[in-house]
Structure 1
Amino acid sequence: MTIPHIPSITPSAFSALKFDYLIIGGGTAGLVLAARLSTHSTITVGVIEAGPMTFNDPIITVPGRFGESLGGRYDWQFETTPQPGLNGRALKWPRGKVLGGTSALNFMTWTRGNKEDYDAWKELGNEGWGWDDLLPYFKKTETLHQSTPEHQAQHQSHFDAEHHGTEGPITSIYSKEYSVPHQHWHATLNSLGLETNKSHFSGSNLGAFTTLTSVDPTTRTRVSAATAYYLPSAERENLHVLTEATVQVILLETKNDEYVATGVGYACNGEKFMAKVSHEVILCAGSVQSPQLLELSGIGRPEILEAAGIPVKVANPNVGKNLQDHMMTAMVYELDSTLIGPAELRTNPILAEAAEKAYKTSQSGMYAMLPCALSYASLSQVIPSPTLSSILSHLPPAETNRDQVLEKQFVDGKKRGQIEYIFDIGNWSPYFQREEGKVYGTMLMMLQLPLSKGCIHIPPKDHAPRPTEINNNPVINPKYFQGSGGALDFAIMTHAQRFADKICSTKPLSTLIRKRVFPLEAKEASPFDPVAHPVTGEEDFTDWVRNYTTTDWHPIGTCAMGGYTGDRAGVVDSRLRVYGVKGLRIADASIMPLHICAHPQATIYAIGEKAASMILEDRLK
């Protein structure tokens, strides 16, 4: 990767500038906005990012080292509260703390939601956010590098060029090669009734497919918002990026009896500074920290603010609510010992050296590979009809417009990808301890449209003399398997888990598998082991799902668009303007009112693109 000259700036020099737009968070959407707004030479743009700037750390850049950065210096290392629905377990919640944000930490999966996902947002009254509205922004983000006919035949790397971009900053590609289990994925899923989807970016990702990845086609390195959007813009004289600086508060002033965002207060190297803005502050801190910063600035539920010692400026009880996350389980299988996975590279210097050489010389081998065997299935495809009808008969009464729109996706027979399955080599479970000398594979199952909703709020000051600050971690309470819809989420995951195991018991994938090791196969479990119980001829995963469900790292919704109900149910309007404050917008995953059946990376880029377009439109009015 060729790194252009990157201007450096001191906090004092940054604060002396006159900004038109000031962006909080140099992450996925934030850097899209920075790049697009700064194309206009008359607009001065500032970005404040809490993490460092790095472009050459292999734990970020090398695809096959995905996951190594989690829990380290590039991660905020958040944690949830103990979850009653998970038998009291607290979960680690990684979030990117580096220029590029979570796009520099994720697993580079490039998928798009379904037409119904985005049309549901529009149905709620968020004009301009339906599938047809967003498709131009999805395409604007992307440059598809098409696979050859030979590659398509061998790896099922299909695409429909009409629905992809050709000139966007993010290069989406298919890998050169795949793991051995991937070679059996499509035939296995096809035999179970999940057909191969040859156009999974056209508004339906139902079925099995080989996923695209956000990787550079030449260097086979990660493509993030930092490399794709910031680097080509870095030398612009009207774009200024300050890293390792943490915004502490959004400055609000009263003008004509209404609050206006006029800048931010931030800390850098132990000192405090202010930066002022003439047009807008744009909050792009993500689903965890966007609500946190609103509350620290006096925008939110009065009881939360008062307990934290923060004066209430704009009362909005929806800040931090509506938290939704994809929940995940990870079954682990012992595989044929001749296979090689990521763990083997990390423990065997000879294998690691060979992989490193292949990657450096030909951009191939294990370090160039990513898990790409995906499938999205409707509930009716993975849960027997009588069981599913019984489960859905317990849908809770809809309390809000969002509930009504969401519950339409659960009509029996509805063809929606409510469950995602992924399989690849490696032990992906944080709860299973591998044995040396054995090779493992993991079947991941993820619930896509959760009914459980949680919240994120700043903590109370606990009688301290000073109010709550940015360094006091927010209280993250996803309320997994809780609330009126929690029991239904749990029932769906428990029964869909059987299909996950069925995939691994079906040829040709099963020919690579020696046995299931987590949870233990029912015949091997002791009578006192809670992870496997034979029940009426079918295995019961109830206790195992309760004890080992974790996050898929896809939180959304905490500053959601309000739609028809406005600030009675939302935090921002359909143009992403914060209710009750002029000159303040939010553009990140927190504005999504309902979850999508997809990994959210591509959608967050599209949110950034659309936000930039709206801001420029409003500027010209």
Structure 2
Amino acid sequence: MAPRSVALLLALACGLGKSTATVESESFDYIIVGAGTSGLVVANRLSEDPSVTVAVIEPGTDQRDNINVTATEAFGLSFNTPMDWAYSTVKQRDAGDRAFGLHAGKAWGGTSTINGMTYIRGNVAEFDAWEQLGNPGWNWESIFSYFKKSEKYTIPTDSQLAAGATYESQYHGFDGPLHVGYVPSLENGSFAPAVKDTWEGLSVSHNLDLNSGSVRGFGMGPQTLDSNLNVRWDAARAYYQPVEHRPNLRIIKGTVKRITWASGGCKKGHLVANGVEMLTDAGKSRTLGAKKEVVVSAGALRTPLVLEASGIGNPRILKSLGIETRINLPGVGEHLVEQPAHFLMFSGDLGSSSASAYHTYLTAADLFGANLAAIEAATRADIPKWARAAADASGADSLNVRGLEKLLHIQHDLLFKHNVTAAEVLTAIAPGSVLASNYWTLFPFSRGSVHLGSRDNIDEPVIDPRIFLSDFDLSTLTAAGRFATRFWLSEPMKTQGSVTGPVLSGDVDLPRNATDAQWHVYLRDTAVANSHPTGTASMMSRELGGVIDPELRVYGTANVRVVDASAVPMQLSGHLTAALYGLAERAADIIKRTTH
């Protein structure tokens, strides 16, 4: 091909044939899309350099004085309020044809303002697996120091230790901006030994520190709160409020519609972003310039929408929306993983005067016992079926079936060769007669998607997690439910708590010795989503369907990064918030080192 033809193709690929540049009303070095958990970490660290300017664009507001945010025992009170996006999925064919609700924070601090505050990172092998997906240098060892950098751990008091809190200091940081500890109301009670003895009677050992990189067992997980002030410590309180006086850092209220591209600015065949177009509350369009980079931190359910609106994604989908394709990247919005969860309530009373919760992490061996080898073989044989089902549901041009098979095989190895934990049971004890278990599947094999519903309304995405597309997810949740039931009906918990039996959800009858089929019917009709979405702009090789490279840069762009849960390529055993703080801390250092 003649040099002139090559130059023309590069020009068209970089958007030079048609200008998208607009007149900026204001310019900054860095624009961060979203003031959530990850976005505020990056904003804080980039603005440490007084010579650069940072703007964070966020549709939510400052909720620092909202009692539903600050109160450490107010979990759930912010759900379905104006500070919750309160998304709804499409009806789930394999889950009773029901739509599922998904909670996501719409505020300074994002979901860290409305979540359960649990701070648990996950297993070593889960982070090490990121390297197998095309991310050299991303593993437990490389991110562990960033966990400690972000953390300000408060050692439990004597009464909290007596109530079940335990820790090992070598796994914690003590000088970071994020307070981590236990609620001051956590007090000693006679139920703590009963919890320990009951779990150990079921061959589940006590884990002294759930943040050690090995979460198997049971323990009382710390939370993102200031133990002395008894206040939730969300990302805004940790990373923005202490530095909000910086003249080079601003939060601008508005909703980003799309990234804008430079006309005439192409680096080695890659598109160059020159800013973003946003919508004000008054409905007016405004464009802000970015002199260095655009960092998208809108969360797993919104980041892919921003990319698609900017012309990055599957050409078929973009064409149907009337959006010009600038980068052919079919993985955008795909690989959505959501954890199906369920609640079991039990009648009884432990005489507790304060609330407490124990996290129990179970492996496939714990869940399936003598049937483990048969289940391991059967699930491995079913991987091609699940990959094909996901590809068929998304469209053959959306998911690379072989790439997805590789991803699912890595996940299978984690569960059955590396013995990472497969399910979590959260045992909750509250004053009065409330005894409950919230349990969920940690590593679903089902894969879903999230895409724009229309080019002009980014606030109403089409979310399809395809809950129970893989029947193994249903089997895992069933096994976890049985384990939770055994806990409450085993000694000494049963006698000490006067536990008489479960109080079931809905009108479904679930006999004490229910069969697998009866459990499956029950769970299909009553399971919920855990609101832990990941993977929709995965950090993995482009060949596997990845969207960003190991420097978190969107493939085909010179200066657009993604830093949030959408970058996490597979689920984790821990609660996402803890992992995201470490991810964002490391991302900020990468951005500083690689920005030109």
Asked if 1:586 is matched to 2:596, the reply is: no
Partners of 1:104 and 1:442 in 2: CA distance: 24
Q: Is the 8 A contact 1:392 1:488 kept in 2?
A: no
Select the residue among 471, 475, 497 that pairs with 1:491.
475
* Residue identity matched to 2:335: N
Q: Is the 8 A contact 2:352 2:430 kept in 1?
A: no
* Residue identity matched to 1:266: M
Cα distance change, pair 410–446 in 1 and its aligned pair in 2 (3 A): same
TM-aligned CA deviation for residue 531 of structure 1? 3.2
Partners of 2:228 and 2:433 in 1: CA distance: 31
TM-aligned CA deviation for residue 388 of structure 1? 6.1
Q: Is the 8 A contact 1:128 1:134 kept in 2?
A: no
Q: What residue number does 1:595 align with?
A: 571
Q: Is the 8 A contact 1:251 1:263 kept in 2?
A: yes
TM-score normalised over the length of structure 1: 0.84
What do residues 216-270 of structure 1 show as CA deviations (whole Å, max 9, x unaligned)?
A: 1221100011001000110001001113x11111112342354211111111132
* Residue identity matched to 2:228: T
Partners of 1:494 and 1:304 in 2: CA distance: 36
Cα distance change, pair 135–84 in 1 and its aligned pair in 2 (3 A): same
Cα distance change, pair 329–391 in 1 and its aligned pair in 2 (3 A): farther
Q: What residue number does 1:98 align with?
A: 107
Select the residue among 410, 416, 420 that pairs with 1:411.
416
Cα distance change, pair 529–597 in 1 and its aligned pair in 2 (3 A): closer
Asked if 1:500 is matched to 2:513, the reply is: no
Partners of 1:127 and 1:215 in 2: CA distance: 34
Select the residue among 35, 46, 61 that pairs with 1:52.
61
Matching of residues 135-174 of structure 1 within 5 Å: 135-148=144-157, 151-152=160-161, 154-174=162-182
Asked if 1:269 is matched to 2:273, the reply is: no
Partners of 2:209 and 2:430 in 1: CA distance: 28
TM-aligned CA deviation for residue 73 of structure 1? 1.0
Unpaired runs of at least 5, structure 1: 1-13, 341-365, 428-437, 462-466
Q: Is the 8 A contact 2:276 2:287 kept in 1?
A: yes
Matching of residues 391-410 of structure 1 within 5 Å: 392-395=377-380, 396-397=382-383, 399-400=402-403, 401-410=406-415
* Residue identity matched to 1:490: L
TM-aligned CA deviation for residue 382 of structure 1? 2.6
* Residue identity matched to 2:46: L
Partners of 1:335 and 1:329 in 2: CA distance: 19
* Residue identity matched to 1:597: S
* Residue identity matched to 1:544: Y
The secondary structure found in structure 2 opposite 1:575 is coil
Matching of residues 212-361 of structure 1 within 5 Å: 212-243=222-253, 245-254=254-263, 255-256=265-266, 258-270=270-282, 271-336=284-349
Q: Is the 8 A contact 2:124 2:140 kept in 1?
A: yes
TM-aligned CA deviation for residue 71 of structure 1? 0.6
What do residues 173-230 of structure 1 show as CA deviations (whole Å, max 9, x unaligned)?
A: 1233437655632222111111111132221011011111111122110001100100
Partners of 1:150 and 1:61 in 2: CA distance: 23
Q: Is the 8 A contact 2:478 2:520 kept in 1?
A: yes
Matching of residues 101-116 of structure 1 within 5 Å: 101-116=110-125
Partners of 2:308 and 2:468 in 1: CA distance: 26
TM-aligned CA deviation for residue 151 of structure 1? 4.0
TM-aligned CA deviation for residue 96 of structure 1? 0.4
Per mean C-alpha deviation after superposition, the further-off stretch among 47-56 and 172-181 is: 172-181
Select the residue among 519, 524, 536 that pairs with 2:504.
519
TM-aligned CA deviation for residue 567 of structure 1? 5.2
TM-aligned CA deviation for residue 534 of structure 1? 4.0
Q: What residue number does 2:434 align with?
A: 440
Q: Sequence identity of aligned pairs in percent?
A: 28
* Residue identity matched to 2:476: I
Partners of 1:31 and 1:214 in 2: CA distance: 15
* Residue identity matched to 1:377: L
TM-aligned CA deviation for residue 105 of structure 1? 0.5
Cα distance change, pair 15–65 in 1 and its aligned pair in 2 (3 A): farther
The secondary structure found in structure 1 opposite 2:199 is helix
TM-aligned CA deviation for residue 134 of structure 1? 0.5
Partners of 2:463 and 2:157 in 1: CA distance: 45
Partners of 1:549 and 1:386 in 2: CA distance: 24
TM-score normalised over the length of structure 2: 0.87
Select the residue among 405, 424, 427 that pairs with 1:423.
427
Matching of residues 167-182 of structure 1 within 5 Å: 167-178=175-186
Partners of 1:535 and 1:294 in 2: CA distance: 46
Cα distance change, pair 322–43 in 1 and its aligned pair in 2 (3 A): same
Cα distance change, pair 37–50 in 1 and its aligned pair in 2 (3 A): same
Partners of 1:165 and 1:555 in 2: CA distance: 27
Partners of 2:169 and 2:40 in 1: CA distance: 26
Say what the alpha-carbon RMSD is for the aligned residues. Answer: 2.4
Q: Is the 8 A contact 2:271 2:558 kept in 1?
A: yes
Q: What residue number does 1:453 align with?
A: 447
Cα distance change, pair 150–106 in 1 and its aligned pair in 2 (3 A): closer
Residue-pair matches, total = 547
Q: What residue number does 2:582 align with?
A: 606
What do residues 2-24 of structure 1 show as CA deviations (whole Å, max 9, x unaligned)?
A: xxxxxxxxxxxx96443110000
Unpaired runs of at least 5, structure 2: 1-22, 385-401
